[in-house]
């Protein structure tokens, strides 16, 4: 451990060793500078890393991991640090490997619709790099102008357009990986569906616990010919949710389909003052349709009919980019708005089957009343991916604990109806104690064994994903031992 | 091993043990009855299993695997046995677990567009079960009227419509698995993108080497409003291939896009006598477009323009089901036709980047001339998934060996241009010796370690996927030992 090396007086040697790998300007060690890296987007967990390293190449990453393996130093990889589940939370006596300088585009192959990038590149840059030629990169987390592709791969990020186009894993064709012993692996490739085990799929969403992706081959898509956004408002949440089910039921797959409830609408109107979301609506529904012009025209008409059928009061349609942006602006500002109408907010991320939307939202309303905290609902309705925002005041003693409890209740509700404890923010440090609500001990044990294939010394992002007794009051992390005895025979 | 038990005179006890699990009618042990199970669709490899078991439930499968684990009996799972890479080839002194009696639909949830089935159900039955309600199951291997969903999951099967809709892995939401020690695992679920490691994705395409799927949750899709098929013929293969690139380049994603060369066209015309594929064409292109009626209309027009631009001589469009079926009939009969115009044929399966189609087909033609064997090309052009059919006469001494060599040359060609040694038929027993052409020793070693997490005693489908010295004359399967020593510490 770093701490041990410090005690032994080897600290300077140790710094020099890493400095030789990444260059002196690639090492951050001053306490005030390390402050930036104490947490990611989930600020309720904090841990100062001993050291931050900024490699530039696959070889540098491999050399760092070889040294960590040799000295048994735990490490955490970090992209832009925008994650919301504490996946990039540093580990005590560990180092943080930041990919910010690995921000190159390695290759663009428009003919085969793919791009190879380093992990530190910003999500939005990918689209910018190919936009001129008429292409774009589909997964669009709301942090897309600041989050990194490496982080997106780690967390299998989603976004508004994932209803039609799928999440990150559907757009990663191949990866160059450095695994914790410093070996370099090439998984997947430039053609889809390679033979052998799908290690690409295994790695995407593994939250930095299996290694570091140093080159990422992404699929890029042709920009649609036509795009339109429809805004409809309803006097009941149920009507909005039924409209979502009806649209999907009619065989239409919109690019995105989002709902905001009355509390969110008013928060947004208070803060952004758009004037286009009616303050007295119980819910608004935003539907984006893209594709060929004729297709968009027909789908638009159908969506309109379905909104009317379910009692929509007003329906606005935006065809040009400027008006579309205006309709989306409120949705995109929703989280920030919640932060302005309340001293603090806690965003939860859970998934439910689309057909359970109405009933689960009612139960969330009941939780809100039971605990006496306002909960705003803004969500990817088409995917059943809820984002309840629990509004609270952190200066009130015990408030945060209560909010965490409400958040937990919401997740348990998601699991109860056949959903999931995470839609797109990952498990990280934040949700690992809910993993046993979703998975049996056999399921989790299998995942742990898979982890140990890559990470036998448990140096890669320890303390994430898997529940530990410390966090959850359960002895879930005990070793069965049995399987390892069997492995020893070979 | 079974053989050992036989020698020890425990054979009757052993039979009784398995008979107690699956019932007497669930055990096949007569030599003449076992003949059926000696090979799958790849008849060049044969091995008689010691015993065939026909379980009906997850619990029976779990009990069989627990017994195999206890007695250290190797086993192979088999669906309908239509696989083309010998993935279901039995193992010496092993048992074969046949899923034919696990053919129930467990649940249909139209609202959430999913169906839960047992593995022995036939691919086509899934569509039949939901067709009345306007849904279908997208992956459509050409064997879909006889192949099983369990086999499709094992081999990650593709099909004509996978260009637009993806292969099996894109349609499997969750699995109930029995792993080799008899434990039952639930991976994935009824909502997509579950947290934790993507074990569902890992399992799909693992060719029965990680366990047996006993319940499979599949995504079903709404049937498209409109479908049309376009047949265009060209005087050069290059023109047909360029048209494919142009169609994709125009942002159109057809449901399927297939090319047949002159030799295939004539084989089909000889045998099926359709009269709709011109015998003097260098290549025909079949394009299926589906979607909303207006969308199909527009895309159809564009595809027509692009065919003309590349010098198509005749363009036929089929809108009604009957004419569409007629245009497809020749393509679907292509393999059978090859078997009638030649005493034997060998079908290869490889993938290349779409942009390399013309050049690779030229090189295949050169191989054909070099070796003096006719090669017919029928392929999923949109995916770059080649299916060269090497025509030969098995009664000629040495012919099969030469054909295997040509097949190997074609695979090496695929790898050279950045493609893959398997598009949709899997690796099985047949292609494992080509794995080192595609993967580094580190890549393969990592896959082997992942295998050992599930399959530490190496009882699950041994001798598949991974190259062995026996097959390839290489010491690729040596144990590094190093990593296991590390694991022992835990």
Name the CATH topology of A342-430: Alpha-Beta Plaits (3.30.70)
Contact list, A184 vs chain B (CB under 8 Å): 442
Contact list, A447 vs chain B (CB under 8 Å): 196-197, 199
Closest-CA residue to A388 (of A358, A342, A349, A446): A349
- pLDDT of amino acid A156: 96
Average pLDDT over residues B247-272: 93
Question: What pLDDT, in 10s, does the model give residues B144-185?
Answer: 999 999 999 999 999 888 899 999 999 999 999 999 999 999
Q: Which residue of B has its CA nearest to A193?
A: B423
Interchain proximity A197–B186, CB inside 8 Å: no
Query: A257's torsion region: left (phi>0), alpha (psi -120 to 50) or beta?
Result: beta
Question: What pLDDT, in 10s, does the model give residues B5-33?
Answer: 555 456 677 788 999 999 999 999 999 99
Q: What residue spans of A107-190 are helical by DSSP H? A: 123-131, 149-155, 162-165
Q: How many CA atoms lie within 13 A of A307 on its CB side?
A: 24
Q: Which residue of B has its CA nearest to A179?
A: B446
Contact list, A293 vs chain B (CB under 8 Å): 298
Q: How confident is the model at residue B355 (pLDDT cuts 50, 70, 90)?
A: confident
Interchain proximity B298–A295, CB inside 8 Å: yes
What sign has the CA pseudo-torsion A463, A466, A472, A476? negative
- pLDDT of amino acid B477: 31
3-class secondary-structure state, position A217: strand
CA distances from A185 to A111, B118, B214 (A): 26, 35, 32
Distance of residue B388 Cα from the nearest chain A Cα, in angstroms = 18
Contact list, B248 vs chain A (CB under 8 Å): 113
Interchain proximity B426–A193, CB inside 8 Å: no
Q: Which residue of B has its CA nearest to A225?
A: B251
CATH of domain A105-222: 3.30.465.10
Is CATH 3.30.43.10 correct for B2-98? yes
Residue A207 near residue A173 (C-beta atoms within 8 A): no
Interchain proximity A292–B295, CB inside 8 Å: yes
Best CATH choice for the domain A224-341 from the list 3.30.70.2190, 3.30.70.1150, 3.30.930.10, 1.10.10.60: 3.30.70.2190
CATH of domain B225-341: 3.30.70.2190
Contact list, B418 vs chain A (CB under 8 Å): 189-191
Q: How confident is the model at residue B469 (pLDDT cuts 50, 70, 90)?
A: low
Residue B139 corresponds to which tokens in the numbers above? 């992956």
Contact list, B251 vs chain A (CB under 8 Å): 134, 222-225
Interchain proximity A351–B193, CB inside 8 Å: yes
- pLDDT of amino acid B170: 94
Contact list, A302 vs chain B (CB under 8 Å): none
Q: How confident is the model at residue B413 (pLDDT cuts 50, 70, 90)?
A: very high
Distance of residue B361 Cα from the nearest chain A Cα, in angstroms = 17
Facing B421 at nearest CB: one of A111, A195, A431: A195
Distance of residue A440 Cα from the nearest chain B Cα, in angstroms = 8
Interchain proximity B456–A201, CB inside 8 Å: no
Mutate one of B133, B184, B195 to test the A interface: name it (highest A CB count within 10 A): B195
Q: Which residue of A has its CA nearest to B434?
A: A195
pLDDT (tens place) for every residue of chain A, 490 residues total: 455 555 545 667 778 899 999 999 999 999 999 999 999 998 888 999 999 999 999 999 999 999 999 999 999 999 999 999 999 999 998 999 999 999 999 999 998 999 999 999 999 999 999 999 999 999 999 899 999 999 999 999 998 888 999 999 999 999 999 999 999 999 998 887 789 999 999 999 999 999 999 999 999 999 999 999 999 999 999 999 999 999 998 889 999 999 999 999 999 999 987 888 999 999 999 999 999 898 899 999 999 999 999 999 999 999 999 999 999 989 988 988 988 899 999 999 999 998 899 999 999 999 999 999 999 999 999 999 999 999 999 999 999 999 999 999 999 999 999 999 998 899 999 999 999 999 999 999 999 999 999 999 999 999 999 997 544 433 333 333 333 322 332 2
Facing A298 at nearest CB: one of B292, B355, B421: B292
Facing B186 at nearest CB: one of A193, A291, A440: A440
Distance of residue B286 Cα from the nearest chain A Cα, in angstroms = 21
Q: Where are the domains of chain A?
A: 2-98, 105-222, 224-341, 342-430, 434-488
Facing A185 at nearest CB: one of B156, B420, B446: B446
Contact list, A291 vs chain B (CB under 8 Å): 295
CA distance B251 to B246: 9
Distance of residue A133 Cα from the nearest chain B Cα, in angstroms = 11
Interchain proximity A195–B294, CB inside 8 Å: no
CA distance B373 to A6: 70
Residue B419 near residue B383 (C-beta atoms within 8 A): no
Q: Which residue of B has its CA nearest to A480?
A: B490
As for the ipTM of the complex, it is 0.89
Angle among Cα B57, A446, A159 to the nearest 5 degrees reads 100
Contact list, B222 vs chain A (CB under 8 Å): 251
Distance of residue B257 Cα from the nearest chain A Cα, in angstroms = 16
Question: What pLDDT, in 10s, does the model give residues B39-70?
Answer: 999 888 899 999 999 999 999 999 999 999 99
- pLDDT of amino acid A5: 54
Whole-number CA gyration radius for chain B: 23
pLDDT score of B1 more than 70: no
- pLDDT of amino acid A468: 79
Domains A2-98 and A224-341 belong to one CATH topology = no
Interchain proximity A442–B185, CB inside 8 Å: yes
Give me the torsion for CA of A361, A366, A368, A374, rounded to 10°. 60
Closest-CA residue to A242 (of A282, A209, A199, A205): A282
pLDDT score of B482 more than 60: no
Is CATH 3.30.360.10 correct for B344-430? no
Interchain proximity B111–A488, CB inside 8 Å: no
Interchain proximity B443–A196, CB inside 8 Å: yes
Interchain proximity A294–B291, CB inside 8 Å: no
């Amino acid at each position: 451990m770093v701490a041990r090396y410090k005690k032994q007086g080897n600290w300077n040697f140790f710094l020099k060793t890493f400095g030789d790998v990444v260059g002196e300007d690639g090492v951050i060690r001053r306490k005030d500078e390390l402050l930036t890296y104490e947490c990611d987007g989930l600020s309720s967990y904090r841990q100062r890393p001993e050291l931050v390293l900024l490699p530039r190449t696959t070889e540098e990453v491999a050399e760092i991991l070889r040294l960590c393996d040799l000295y048994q130093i735990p490490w955490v990889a970090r992209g832009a640090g925008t994650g919301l589940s504490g996946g990039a939370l540093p580990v005590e006596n560990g180092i943080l490997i930041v990919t910010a300088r690995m921000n190159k585009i390695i290759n663009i192959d428009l003919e085969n619709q793919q791009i190879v990038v380093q992990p530190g590149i910003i999500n939005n840059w990918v689209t910018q790099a190919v936009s001129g030629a008429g292409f774009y990169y589909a997964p669009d987390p709301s942090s897309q102008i600041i989050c990194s592709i490496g982080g997106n791969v780690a967390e299998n990020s989603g976004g508004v357009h994932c209803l039609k186009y799928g999440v990150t894993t559907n757009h990663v064709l191949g990866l160059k990986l450095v695994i914790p012993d410093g070996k370099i692996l090439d998984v997947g490739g430039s053609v889809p569906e390679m033979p052998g085990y799908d290690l690409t799929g295994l790695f995407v969403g593994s939250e930095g616990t299996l290694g570091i992706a140093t080159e990422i081959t992404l699929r890029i898509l042709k920009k649609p010919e036509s795009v339109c956004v429809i805004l409809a408002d309803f006097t009941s949440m149920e009507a909005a949710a039924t409209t979502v089910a009806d649209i999907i039921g009619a065989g239409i797959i919109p690019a995105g389909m989002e709902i905001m409830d009355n509390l969110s609408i008013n928060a947004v109107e208070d803060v952004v003052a758009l004037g286009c979301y009616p303050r007295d609506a119980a819910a608004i529904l935003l539907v984006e349709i893209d594709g060929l012009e004729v297709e968009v025209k027909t789908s638009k008409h159908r969506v309109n009919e379905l909104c009317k059928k379910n009692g929509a009061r007003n329906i606005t349609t935006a065809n040009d980019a400027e008006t579309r942006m205006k309709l989306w602006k409120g949705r995109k500002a929703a989280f920030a708005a919640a932060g302005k109408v309340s001293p603090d907010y806690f965003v939860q991320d859970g998934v439910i089957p689309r057909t359970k939307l109405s009933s689960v939202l009612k139960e969330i309303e009941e939780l809100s009343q039971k605990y006496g905290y306002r909960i705003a609902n803004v969500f990817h309705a088409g995917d059943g991916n809820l984002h309840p925002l629990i509004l609270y005041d952190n200066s009130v003693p015990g408030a945060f604990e209560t909010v965490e409890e409400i958040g937990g209740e919401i997740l348990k509700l998601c699991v109860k109806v056949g959903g999931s404890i995470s839609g797109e923010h990952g498990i990280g440090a934040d949700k690992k104690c809910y993993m046993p609500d979703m998975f049996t001990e056999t399921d989790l044990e299998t995942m742990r064994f898979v982890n140990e294939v890559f990470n036998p010394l448990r140096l890669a992002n320890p303390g994430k994903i898997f529940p530990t007794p410390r966090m959850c009051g359960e002895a879930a992390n005990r070793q069965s031992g049995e399987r390892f005895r069997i492995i020893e025979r070979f």
